[in-house]
Chain A
Amino acid sequence: MRATVWMDKTHVEVQDVPDPQILNARDAIVKISSTAICGSDLHLYNGFIPTMRKGDILGHEFMGEVVEIGSAVTTLKVGDRVVVPFPIACGGCGACERGLTSVCENSNPNATMAEKVMGHATAGIFGYSHMLGGFPGGQAEYARVPFADVGPFKVADDIPDEQVLFLSDILPTGYMGAEMCDLTPGDVVAVWGAGPVGQFAIASARLLGADRVIAIDRFPYRLRMARDGAGATDVINYEDVPVLEALDDLTAGRGPDACIDAAGLESHIDVGPLQAYDRAKQLVMAETDRPHALREAIMACANGGVVSVIGVYGGFVDKFPMGAFMNRSLRMRSGQCHVHRYMEPLMERIRSGELDPSFVITHRMSLEDAPRGYQMFRDKEDNCEKVVLSP
C-alpha cells in the first residue's frame, strides 16, 4: 500500500510499504477514505518529538471502511464505516473505566520509554513516535486498529467524510479544552492559537455558554476564520497589539476567566529576544518546549481562573511563571483528549446542525501530495489551515 512515511526532520515521503495484518484477535483493518494532517504532526515534522524512526508511518486522524476483523471483534462487521479515535484504548483498565482513554494503561507496548520521560506512561497513539507505542499511522491506504471493539465509531453513510473526520481528534480536543474551563454564563474565554484545534475550542466555548471568546494569533486569515467560522467575538493579532493590555482592556482589568493554550510547544512570540532565547535553548536541548503561549495565558488569566492546556507539549519548559500561578489561585487542566467519550455527543451536535466542523478545511489533496501538504501547513502557505488527504 501507499503510506506517508517519516524519513527525517522535515522530510516525509509517500512510499510503498507492506499492507497491515491482523496481529491480535481484537484488531481490525480499516481501508482509509479520508485522513488529515494535524498541527501536532508538525511537531514530528519539525523534529521536536523524540523517538521517531526512519520509516514510521504518520497520521492519527483517519476514517474509512472496515475490511477485516480479528476473531474477538463482535461489535463491528466488514463494511462498517468508522471514524477512529487517535488514542488507542483497551476499554478494560482503570483509566478507560473512568473515561480517561488517552491515558489507557495497556495500549502502549513501549510504556517503559514513556515512563522514562514522563514518570508514568500514556496510551499508544497512531503514528506518533515509538515512545507512544510504535503504531503505524493513518496517512495511508490501510491501517490496523487495535482494540477495534472499543475505538472505531460507526457513522451512517449519508453524512460526508468532511463533517465527521475531525471526530478522530481535533474536534473533541478543542471541545475538551473548552469543557475543562468549567464555563458559566457570562464567562470570558481567551484562546491562544487559531489553528484547527483553536477554532474548535472557540466554537465549543461558544456552545458551552461563554459570553465572549477572544482569539489570539498572528495570521489575519486565521483570525478571520475564528470570527466568521468559529464564532469568536473578538480577535487579537499579537503582532499588532500587546496581548495582555488588549485582554485587560476587553475585560476591564479582570483578565479572561479561562485561558486555553491551543498553541503548544512550538508557539511563537513577537518579542524577538525571548523567542531567540527559547529557540537557542531548544537547539542545545536545554529545554524541549517553547511555552510562550502558556506563559502568557497564565499571566493573562483572571484571579481564580482556569488555564486549559490542549496544545501539545513533549518534555520540559523553562521560565514557568509559577509565582503568578500559585499566588493568584489559578487552576490548570490539561490532557491529550479522551476522544472516545466525546464522539457520540459531538456526533449529535453535528447531526442537529449545531456544528459543521468542515469550515476549517482549506486544502484537499491526494495522499500522494502529503509532503507538499506538510510543507504548506508548516509555512502557512496559501492561507493553509487544514489539509485533508484522500488515498
Chain B
Amino acid sequence: MGNDDRTRRLVNGLGLFSLGLGVAQLAAPGAMNRLIGAKDDTRTRAVQRWLGGAREVVAGTGIESGRSPAVWLWTRVAGDIVDLGMLGTVLGRSGRRAKTRGRTAVATAAVAGVTAADLLAALRLSRDDTDAGYLGNGRRGIEAKGAVTVNRPVGEVFAYWRDLENLPRFMTHVQSVRHRGDGRWRWRANGPAGMDVEWDADITEERTDEFIAWQSVGEASVANSGRVEFRPAPRGRGTEVRVRLTYDPPVGKLGAAVAKLFGAAPDQQVRDELRRFKQVLETGEVVRSEGTPEGAKSRRTVAQRPAQPAPA
C-alpha cells in the first residue's frame, strides 16, 4: 500500500498548500507582494488576489473535495506555469535592487519546486485514475466489501456459504463452483466481453460458524481472494455477514476489461450479491420483478425494463 499512500499524502498536502497560499493571497496581497519582491500597488495586489488567491482556493477546494483530484492537480500545474511566467517578469524588472531580486529568485525556486510536485502527483493520479487502488507490490487491484444481516441461525448461514457450489445462486457473474475432490474448487465465471474465465481456488483458512477465507491458486487469469465473516446478530436477529473480496487483474487488456466489468462501484456489486444471498436464505429464491427480471442488480437501475410482463 506504500506507493498509494504516498501519492494520497502528497495530493492532500498539495491541496492544503493551495488553500493556505490562496487564503494568504486573498487576505494579505500586499504582504505577499513584498515577500516575493514584487512592486506593491493596487494593480499588483489585484493580480495577487484574483489571479493568484482565488485560483488557489478553487484548486485547493477541488483537490480536498476528493472528486477528480487529478483534474484539479492539472489546473495547479497550469497555474504554476502562469506564476513562473509572472515571476520571470518581476525578475526582469527588478533591475539593480539586489534585496528584492533575491526574494524573487527564492520565490521562483519555491514555485519551481511546487510545480515539480504538482506535476508528479498529477501524473501519478492520472495514470491510476480508475477506481482500482494499489495493492501490495504496486499492482493494481480491486477491493470490494459489503455486509448484510440474514434472519437465519449462524450455523445455517455458514453452512450454505461453506458449500461453495451454492455461490452462483447469488453471485450473478459466477456460473459454477465445483469441488474437484482434492480440497480445491474450480470456479467458472463470466469474463469481460463474453469470455469465460476459470480458475482454481483453495480455502486457505476457516473456522466453523465464524469465517471462511479463500484464494485463487496457480495461473489464474484473474487472481482473487475473499473472506467472509459470520457473527450472531444481537437480540436473535439472525446472522451478520461481512464480505471482503480482492481481485488482482493482470496488467494489459484483460486487466483493464476486468476493472471495467466491476465498474465504478465494486462495493455496490458485493451488496447486490449479499442482498440476493439474504433472499435465497430467507425466502428460498431470488426476488424478481418485471422491471428487474434477473433480481437485485444495480446496473439495472439505469436500464430498467418497464413494469409490464415481457413478451412470451
Q: How far is the CA of A259 from the CA of B150 in the complex (A)?
A: 37
Say whether, besides A94-B237, A106-B282, A134-B305, A21 and B288 are in contact (CB < 8 Å): no
Least CB distance, B269 to chain A, in whole angstroms: 10
Is A186 located at the chain interface by the 8 A CB criterion? no
Query: Is the Cβ of A55 less than 8 Å from the Cβ of B307?
Result: yes
Query: Is the Cβ of B287 less than 8 Å from the Cβ of A112?
Result: no
Query: Is the Cβ of A26 less than 8 Å from the Cβ of B268?
Result: no
Query: Is the Cβ of B287 less than 8 Å from the Cβ of A24?
Result: yes
Contacts of A99 in B (CB 8 A): none
Contacts of B221 in A (CB 8 A): none
Query: Is the Cβ of B289 less than 8 Å from the Cβ of A124?
Result: yes
Contacts of B301 in A (CB 8 A): 110, 112-113, 130
Residue among B149, B271, B285, B291 making CB contact with A134, cutoff 8 Å = B291
Is B195 located at the chain interface by the 8 A CB criterion? no
Residue among A19, A25, A92, A94 making CB contact with B312, cutoff 8 Å = A19
Query: Is the Cβ of A106 less than 8 Å from the Cβ of B287?
Result: yes
* Interface set, chain B 201-246, CB cutoff 8 A to A: 237-238
Query: Is the Cβ of B238 less than 8 Å from the Cβ of A56?
Result: no
The number of inter-chain residue pairs (CB within 8 angstroms) is 131
Residue among A53, A90, A112, A136 making CB contact with B309, cutoff 8 Å = A136
Closest to A127 in B: B307
Query: Is the Cβ of B283 less than 8 Å from the Cβ of A56?
Result: no
Query: Is the Cβ of B307 less than 8 Å from the Cβ of A137?
Result: yes
Q: How far is the CA of A112 from the CA of B296 in the complex (A)?
A: 8
Is A266 located at the chain interface by the 8 A CB criterion? no
Q: How far is the CA of A150 from the CA of B272 in the complex (A)?
A: 24
Say whether, besides A53-B291, A124-B287, A135 and B307 are in contact (CB < 8 Å): yes
Query: Is the Cβ of A106 less than 8 Å from the Cβ of B278?
Result: yes
Query: Is the Cβ of A111 less than 8 Å from the Cβ of B311?
Result: no
Is B251 located at the chain interface by the 8 A CB criterion? no
Is B42 located at the chain interface by the 8 A CB criterion? no
Is B176 located at the chain interface by the 8 A CB criterion? no
What are the interface flags for B265-298 relative to A under an 8 Å C-beta threshold, 1 for contact and 0 otherwise?
0001001100100110011111111111101111
Is B151 located at the chain interface by the 8 A CB criterion? yes
Query: Is the Cβ of B304 less than 8 Å from the Cβ of A112?
Result: no
Total chain B interface residues with beta-carbon distance under 8 A = 37
Q: How far is the CA of A335 from the CA of B300 in the complex (A)?
A: 27
Residue among A90, A93, A134, A136 making CB contact with B304, cutoff 8 Å = A134
Is B308 located at the chain interface by the 8 A CB criterion? yes
Say whether, besides A92-B151, A94-B238, A136-B290, A5 and B308 are in contact (CB < 8 Å): yes
Of A17, A53, A130, A147, most buried by chain B (CB within 10 Å of CB) is A130
A contact face: mostly helix, strand, loop, or mixed:
loop
Least CB distance, B292 to chain A, in whole angstroms: 4
What are the interface flags for A133-169 relative to B under an 8 Å C-beta threshold, 1 for contact and 0 otherwise?
1111100000010110000000000000000000000
Query: Is the Cβ of A24 less than 8 Å from the Cβ of B288?
Result: yes
Query: Is the Cβ of B291 less than 8 Å from the Cβ of A110?
Result: yes
Is B193 located at the chain interface by the 8 A CB criterion? no
Q: How far is the CA of A24 from the CA of B292 in the complex (A)?
A: 13
* Interface set, chain A 1-51, CB cutoff 8 A to B: 3, 5, 17-21, 23-26, 51
Is B98 located at the chain interface by the 8 A CB criterion? no
Query: Is the Cβ of B272 less than 8 Å from the Cβ of A56?
Result: no
Contacts of B272 in A (CB 8 A): 112
Is A308 located at the chain interface by the 8 A CB criterion? no
Least CB distance, A103 to chain B, in whole angstroms: 13
Least CB distance, A326 to chain B, in whole angstroms: 29
Least CB distance, A208 to chain B, in whole angstroms: 30
Residue among A25, A54, A147 making CB contact with B306, cutoff 8 Å = A54
Contacts of B295 in A (CB 8 A): 109
Is A262 located at the chain interface by the 8 A CB criterion? no
Query: Is the Cβ of B285 less than 8 Å from the Cβ of A25?
Result: yes
Least CB distance, B249 to chain A, in whole angstroms: 25
Contacts of A130 in B (CB 8 A): 291-292, 301, 304, 307
Contacts of B279 in A (CB 8 A): 90, 106
Query: Is the Cβ of A17 less than 8 Å from the Cβ of B308?
Result: yes
* Interface set, chain A 110-137, CB cutoff 8 A to B: 110-113, 124, 127, 130, 133-137
Q: How far is the CA of A53 from the CA of B287 in the complex (A)?
A: 20
Query: Is the Cβ of A90 less than 8 Å from the Cβ of B307?
Result: no
Contacts of A365 in B (CB 8 A): none
Contacts of B149 in A (CB 8 A): 94
Closest to A109 in B: B292
Contacts of B307 in A (CB 8 A): 53, 55-57, 127, 130, 133-137
Least CB distance, A141 to chain B, in whole angstroms: 11
Closest to B272 in A: A112
Residue among B268, B300, B308 making CB contact with A18, cutoff 8 Å = B308
Q: How far is the CA of A54 from the CA of B312 in the complex (A)?
A: 20
Residue among A21, A26, A124 making CB contact with B283, cutoff 8 Å = A26
Is A303 located at the chain interface by the 8 A CB criterion? no
Question: Besides the contacts A53-B304, A110-B304, A134-B292, what 15 more A-B pairs have beta carbons closer than 8 Å?
Answer: A5-B308, A17-B309, A18-B311, A24-B287, A55-B306, A56-B308, A90-B279, A93-B282, A111-B296, A130-B291, A133-B289, A134-B305, A135-B290, A137-B307, A147-B283
Shortest 6 CB-CB contacts between residues of A and residues of B: A134-B291, A55-B306, A92-B282, A56-B307, A109-B292, A134-B289
25 A-B contacts (beta carbon < 8 Å): A3-B308, A21-B309, A26-B284, A53-B306, A56-B291, A57-B307, A57-B308, A90-B283, A93-B278, A93-B283, A106-B282, A109-B300, A110-B292, A112-B272, A112-B296, A112-B301, A124-B289, A133-B289, A133-B292, A134-B289, A134-B292, A134-B307, A135-B307, A144-B290, A146-B289
